[in-house]
Structure 1
Amino acid sequence: MTYEIGKLNHETLLTPMAAAEDALARLDERVARSEVGAGFAERADFFDSVSSMWVGGELVHLEDLVLHDARMDVRAPSHELVIAHRIVRARRRVSRNDPGWAVSRSGIMALAGVAEETFVEAEPVDRGGEGVELDLVDDAALSDLAEIDEVLARTQWLVEGNEAVEQRKRELEVSVGELLIRDPDWDEGERIGEWLELAKQVERFPATLAAALIWDAWEHLEPLQRQHWLGQVLVSDFLRLRGKVLSHLLAYAVGLREIPRERRRGRDRTARLVAFLDAMSAAAAAGMKDIDRLTLAKRQLERKAAGRRTTSSLPVAVDLLMSRPIVSAHMIAKAAKITPRGALNLVGELGVREMTGRGRYRAWGIL
C-alpha cells in the first residue's frame, strides 16, 4: 500500500490553505504573549484527547479524564478512558521534547510502545600490522560451543521437566485471540517507513498543506494497527517543527471534530484536504475563544484574591483552575495542601461555576 502525492489542485486548495496559515499564526502569537498561555496549553491536552476519541467513534467524558489524570477516579476506568489518558500523556511527552522528535522513527516507536529492532555488528579488530578484520570464531570453536549448549539444554530439561518446553511451544504458537487483535501480515515498520518518507517529500509545500497531506497519508496507510490516534499528535508536532505553531502543541482533533464525517472521509482527495485545512482553522478559532475566556476569568478571579494575606491558598486554586478544564475539591486540596473542607471554602470565595449539577462528587471549572 503506497500513497502518491501526484498533482494537487492548487486553485481549490489556495483559499483554505491561506486561511489556515493566517489562523494558526494568530493563535501562536496570541498564546505566546498571553498571561494564560501555559494554562491554555495544559487544557488543550484534555480537549484534544476527548475530541480525538470522539473522531474515532468513542465517547469519553472530560470530567472522568481529568479526575483519572489526577488519580482521583470516582469509578473504575473504562478501556476508552485509559486510551484517552494515553493520548494526554503522549501529548505531554511530545511537548517536553524538541520540535520534530515525534515525526521520526524513534519518536513514533516510543509513543506507540513498539520496540525497535536492534542489530549488533561485529567490531573490527586490529591484529598488529596484519590489517583490520572482523574478530570471528573458527568453525571448530563454534562446533564445541554448540555441543556445550546442547548439553546444557538437556540438563535443564531434566531438572525442570517437560513443562518448560511445552510452555515455550505454546508461546511460539499464534492463538486465535491474537489473530483477532493483530494482523500478522500488517508490517508496521514498513508502513511507518513509507509515511516518514512522505513527510520528507512534503517539505517543499507550505506548512499547513504539508500537514494536511501527511494526515491524509496516515489515514490511508494506517501504519499502526491499534494507535491510530497517534497521527493527530504527529500532525501537531509537524506544525511545530515547521515553525507554524511553536508556543504549544496544537489541538488538531478539536478542529477535526467540527468537520462533518462526510467531508473527512470523502472519496475525493482534494475535498478531504480542504476539510483538513478547515479543521486547522477551526482548531485555531476554538483556541482563540478559549484564550479570551481564560483571560477574562483569570482577571475576575484575581480581583477576588486581591488583598489576601501572602499565605492564602487562593492563588494556588486560581492557577489550578487555569490549567484544568474541571477541578474537584480533592484536586484543590492536594494542590494547595489543605483539607477538602478548606478547598470547598476556597471555591465558595472564588464563586466558580459548578459543572456537574450533583450534590456529591462535584466539580467546578471554566468552560
Structure 2
Amino acid sequence: MGYEIGELPLRTLLPEVARAEDQLARLDEIVRRSPVREGFAERGHFLEAAASMWISGQLLHIEDLVFHDAHMDIRSPTHELVVGHVILRARRRVAGAEPGWAVSEAGIAALTGAERITSPKAPGISDERGGEEDEAPPDDDDDPLSRELAHIDAMLERSRRVLDGIATQAPVAVREKPSLVVGELVIRDAGWDEQERLFEWHGVRSDAADLPPVLSAALLLDAWEAIEPLQRQHWLGSQLVATCLQARGKVVSHLPALNVGLKAVPRERRRSFDRTKRLLAFLDAMCLAAESGMKEIARLDQARQLMERKLRGRRSTSSLPAAIELILSRPIVSAAMVAKAADVTPRGALNLIAELGVREMTGRGSYRAWGIL
C-alpha cells in the first residue's frame, strides 16, 4: 500500500487531459439531447460489464449476460456469467443513485455486500439484500427470485452462526471484521485490511479534489490499481471512478463506461511501470470510451428512426412501440423477451421482429437472437 500523488508532469498530461475533457463533454451533451438516451444508458451497462470481465482476463458473451438478466438462460450459468451479472446490477444501482453516493461509506458497504455482515439488525430480507431504507436507493431487482434468494441467504447466515457457536440474534459491531474459517483462507487473505486500504484510497481522492475532473479520475483509477482495496471485487474501482466524474459534474447524463475504453488500450500501457504512461493510457481510454459512445448513440438514433417508420398508420394499441423500446435498450434480444415486453405470443413476437427488420445475430436454428448492427 501507499500511494503519493507527488509532482505530476503537467506539460505531458495536460494535452491529453484537455482532449479527454472535450470528448466526455461532447458525449454528455449528445446523450442529454438524444431521444434514445435511456436505451443508450441501459445498453452501456451490459457493454461495460462484459468489458470489465475482459479487462480482468475473463471472457463473457453479451448474449449470455442479456439472457441471464432476463431469467431466460439457454445453459447453466458459468462463474464468469454470475460475476458479470453482479457487475451489471452494481452498475445499475450506481447509475440510479445520487452522484457520489457510491463512494460514500454507506454506498461502498451496500455495493460490496458488507451490510450483510456489519448490520446491527437481526438478519432479514432487507438487510440480506444489502440495502438501506434511508441512505441507499432501492434495488431495481426487486422480484420474487431476489426475495427467495434473500431468504436463502438469511437462513445460511443463521446456520453459519449456529455452527460457529454464535447466537443467531447476537448484535454485530459495525466495524467488526468477520472471522475467517479454514475454507475461506483459500480465497481471502486474513491480513488484507480492506478498511485501511479504502481509507487510503479516499485520501487520494481528497488530495486530487482540486485537480481537473478527468486528471483526478485517472489518478483515482491508478491508485485503485496500486492499492487494491478489495480482495474479491476489484472491478468496483472503475464504477467508483465513473461516479466520481458524475459527482464533479463532468458527466451528468449517464454513467461513463470507462472499461469499454480501457479494453481498446494495450495491456502494456495500462500496466506500465511508469506512472505517467499509465495515466496517459487511462486518459486515452476515456477518449476512446467517449468516441465509442458517440458512435453507439448515433447508430441507435438512426436505427430508431428507421424502425419508427414502421409505426405509420398503426393503431394506438400496436405492440410495435414496446418491441422497439426493448430492442433499443438491449444489445441483443430473443423472441421470448419480445413476447414478454410486448405482451404477445411467441409467434406474434417473431412477426414483430420480422416487421422491424432487425438482423439475426446468432446464426442458429434454435435459441435465436436479434439485435441492431
Normalising by the smaller structure, the TM-score range is: 0.7 to 0.9
Pair 1:244-2:278 in alignment: no
1:207-255, Cα deviation, whole Å (9 max, x unpaired) = 0000000000000000000000000100110110011110000111100
Aligned equivalents of 1:322 and 1:169: distance in 2?
A: 52
**What is the match of residue 294 of structure 2?**
288
Aligned equivalents of 1:346 and 1:9: distance in 2?
A: 57
SS class of match (2:103): coil
Aligned equivalents of 1:84 and 1:117: distance in 2?
A: 25
Report how far residue 344 of structure 1 moved. Answer: 0.2
Is this contact kept in 2: 1:214–1:235, CA < 8 A? Answer: yes
**What is the match of residue 185 of structure 1?**
191
Report how far residue 168 of structure 1 moved. Answer: 3.2
Pair 1:323-2:319 in alignment: no
| Aligned partner letter, 1:249 | L
**What is the match of residue 143 of structure 1?**
none
1:267-324, Cα deviation, whole Å (9 max, x unpaired) = 0000000000000000000000001100110000001222111111011110111101
Pair 1:226-2:232 in alignment: yes
**What is the match of residue 40 of structure 2?**
40
**What is the match of residue 11 of structure 1?**
11
Q: Which runs of 4+ in 1 moved over 2 A?
A: 115-120, 164-177
- Gaps (5+ residues) in structure 1? 121-163
Is this contact kept in 2: 1:316–1:335, CA < 8 A? Answer: yes
SS class of match (2:101): coil
1:45-81, Cα deviation, whole Å (9 max, x unpaired) = 0000000000000000000000001010011111110
**What is the match of residue 211 of structure 1?**
217
Alignment CA distance shift 1:69-1:118 (3 Å): closer
- Superposed, which structure 2 residues align to 1:43-192 within 5 Å? 43-115=43-115, 167-168=163-164, 174-192=180-198
Is this contact kept in 2: 1:95–1:249, CA < 8 A? Answer: yes
Alignment CA distance shift 1:117-1:343 (3 Å): closer
1:79-124, Cα deviation, whole Å (9 max, x unpaired) = 110111111111111111110011122211110111375799xxxx
Report how far residue 198 of structure 1 moved. Answer: 1.2
SS class of match (2:186): helix
| Aligned partner letter, 1:263 | R
Aligned equivalents of 2:232 and 2:331: distance in 1?
A: 28
Bigger mean CA offset, 96-105 vs 272-281 = 96-105
Is this contact kept in 2: 1:104–1:196, CA < 8 A? Answer: no
Is this contact kept in 2: 1:208–1:277, CA < 8 A? Answer: yes
Is this contact kept in 1: 2:51–2:263, CA < 8 A? Answer: yes
Counting aligned pairs with the same residue, the percent is 60
Alignment CA distance shift 1:183-1:353 (3 Å): same
Pair 1:343-2:349 in alignment: yes
**What is the match of residue 26 of structure 1?**
26
Pair 1:298-2:304 in alignment: yes
- Gaps (5+ residues) in structure 2? 122-159, 168-177
**What is the match of residue 370 of structure 2?**
364
Aligned equivalents of 2:313 and 2:286: distance in 1?
A: 42
Is this contact kept in 2: 1:105–1:196, CA < 8 A? Answer: no
Report how far residue 170 of structure 1 moved. Answer: 11
**What is the match of residue 273 of structure 1?**
279
Aligned equivalents of 2:185 and 2:328: distance in 1?
A: 45
**Count of aligned positions:** 324
| Aligned partner letter, 1:359 | G
Is this contact kept in 2: 1:264–1:272, CA < 8 A? Answer: yes
Alignment CA distance shift 1:181-1:315 (3 Å): same
SS class of match (2:251): coil
SS class of match (1:204): coil
Root-mean-square deviation (CA), in Å?
2.1
Aligned equivalents of 1:179 and 1:266: distance in 2?
A: 31
Report how far residue 169 of structure 1 moved. Answer: 6.2
Aligned equivalents of 1:337 and 1:2: distance in 2?
A: 55
Is this contact kept in 1: 2:180–2:190, CA < 8 A? Answer: no
Pick 1 or 2: higher relative contact order, CA cutoff 8 A, min separation 6.
1
| Aligned partner letter, 2:358 | V
Aligned equivalents of 1:296 and 1:166: distance in 2?
A: 59
Alignment CA distance shift 1:320-1:117 (3 Å): closer
Structure number with larger C-alpha Rg: 1
Report how far residue 195 of structure 1 moved. Answer: 0.7
SS class of match (1:325): coil
SS class of match (1:226): coil
